[in-house]
Amino acid sequence: MQICKRRREDPEQMLGQRRRAAMALFALTCSATPLALPSASAQDYPTRAVKLIVPFAAGGPADVYARVVGQRLQEKFGQPFVVEDRPGGGSLIGTDAVAKSVADGYTLLVMSNTHTVNETLFANKPYQLLRDFVPVAPLNQSDLVLAVHPSLPVQSLRDLIELARAQPHALNYASSGPGTPYHMAGELFKSMAGVDIVHIPYKGSSSARTDLIGGQVQMMFDAITTMAPQAQAGKVRVLASSGRERSDVMPDVPTLAEAGVPGYEATIWLGVMAPAGTATAIVNKLNAAIRSIVTSAEIKSTWIEQGARPISMSSDDFGRFVRDDIGKWASVIKRADIKPD
């Protein structure tokens, strides 16, 4: 009868096996940890300062309303929401900086329909709006007005059209840069009214507005929220507004459609986007906060008095809104053969 002897285990071998097992368990735990992080970080978000990048010059509507919303977000979350203006390139410079930032909810883009226009106007941008960003929430929408310097010998939109047709390429209009709502409003006016006026692009609406008031340029499409006080002070003459209906801010001013350009409509709207890859929970948290701000009684009454209509949408609905606006302006740009200056 053969007796089987139990093999004696090597202590060093046993220790090595235990070490390998422990390391495998540690690796498994580490690989699983990131899955839990987004929900935890979203729950605590924000824990430090958040940047609101405005890719336009200070003093324009995007800058003004970003500061209003940023202050309310700071009060709500107890963390700073810092507005940082990064103008240049018709919004391309600041926007690209946000596209390349970490997708953690701490760098956000304050955008306008400049961005939906640029999707078609600039074919070689370093980013694509709906590929490199996720929609967060819209803020508001404002009508534009066509304002002229008081020295220009016109009292109505029809007067301006007649003068422009009689003197092709002699009149000029300012904008805050290629692709901005002010530029597109001017190009749409040129196309629909059949006039030849020269585009003078600036790096921001503030400098364009200053030169209009100073008489260095003859006309400008500008947000009614910023131009109405200048008109009331007699520094400019407003000929028409750009919405479907007359503005409550300047009810005596006709729309362009009423005054001589049937079917004309161009507005400026603002919104917030985040870099693609930002956690859905963070996007939804920001969306809920922004919607509560823009629909609050105080903000609604103040903005409407200024000529801005608050917009409240879910993140998904805002995404569809952005996509539709890209299509709208793509059609206008191609039909009017608009080129960046």
Residue 150 lies in a domain: yes
In the structure encoding, which two tokens stand for residue 314, read together? 């879910």
Same domain, 82 and 120: yes
Summary mean pLDDT of the chain: 89
Q: pTM for this structure?
A: 0.78
DSSP one-letter code for 25: H
φ, ψ dihedrals at 122, nearest 5°:
-115, 100
Residue 31 lies in a domain: no
Residue 29 lies in a domain: no
Alpha-carbon gap, residue 69 to 90, rounded angstroms: 23
Q: How many domains does the chain have?
A: 2
In the structure encoding, which two tokens stand for residue 203, read together? 């790096």
pLDDT of 217-233, one tens digit each?
Answer: 999 999 898 899 999 99
Nearest to 204 by CA among 17, 54, 10: 54
Residue 296 has pLDDT above 70, yes or no: yes
CA 286 to chain centre: 15
Angle between the N-to-C axes of helices 315-336 and 113-121, in degrees from 0 to 180, rounded to the nearest 10: 50
Residue 42 lies in a domain: no
Same domain, 172 and 241: yes
Which of 39-48, 109-118, 201-210 has maximum average pLDDT?
109-118
φ, ψ dihedrals at 276, nearest 5°:
-55, 140
DSSP one-letter code for 341: -
Strands (E), 79-159: 81-85, 107-112, 133-148
In the structure encoding, which two tokens stand for residue 265, read together? 């409509």
Alpha-carbon gap, residue 40 to 48, rounded angstroms: 15
pLDDT of 225-279, one tens digit each?
Answer: 889 999 999 999 999 999 999 998 999 999 999 999 999 999 999 999 999 999 9
Residue 177 lies in a domain: yes
Residue 31 has pLDDT above 80, yes or no: no
Domain of residue 206 covers 143-259
Residue 39 lies in a domain: no
The CATH number for 77's domain is: 3.40.190.150
Residue 187 lies in a domain: yes
pLDDT of 66-120, one tens digit each?
Answer: 999 999 999 999 999 999 999 988 899 999 999 999 999 999 999 999 999 999 9
Same domain, 131 and 272: yes
Q: 210, 228, 259: which is the final residue of a domain?
A: 259
CA 128 to chain centre: 14
Q: 259, 291, 319: which is the final residue of a domain?
A: 259
Q: How many CB atoms lie within 10 A of CB 80?
A: 14
In the structure encoding, which two tokens stand for residue 259, read together? 């005054």
Q: What is the length of the chain? A: 341
Same domain, 235 and 195: yes
pLDDT of 133-183, one tens digit each?
Answer: 999 999 999 999 999 999 999 999 999 999 999 999 999 999 988 888 899
In the structure encoding, which two tokens stand for residue 309, read together? 């209509």
Reduced to 3 states (helix: H, G, I; strand: E, B; else coil), residue 154 is coil
Residue 27 lies in a domain: no
Give pLDDT, residue 27.
44
Residues in Cβ contact with 15 at an 8 Å cutoff, skipping those fewer than 6 apart: none
The CATH number for 152's domain is: 3.40.190.10
Q: 259, 293, 311: which is the final residue of a domain?
A: 259
The DSSP element (H or E) to which 308 belongs, if any, is strand 308-310
Same domain, 190 and 274: no
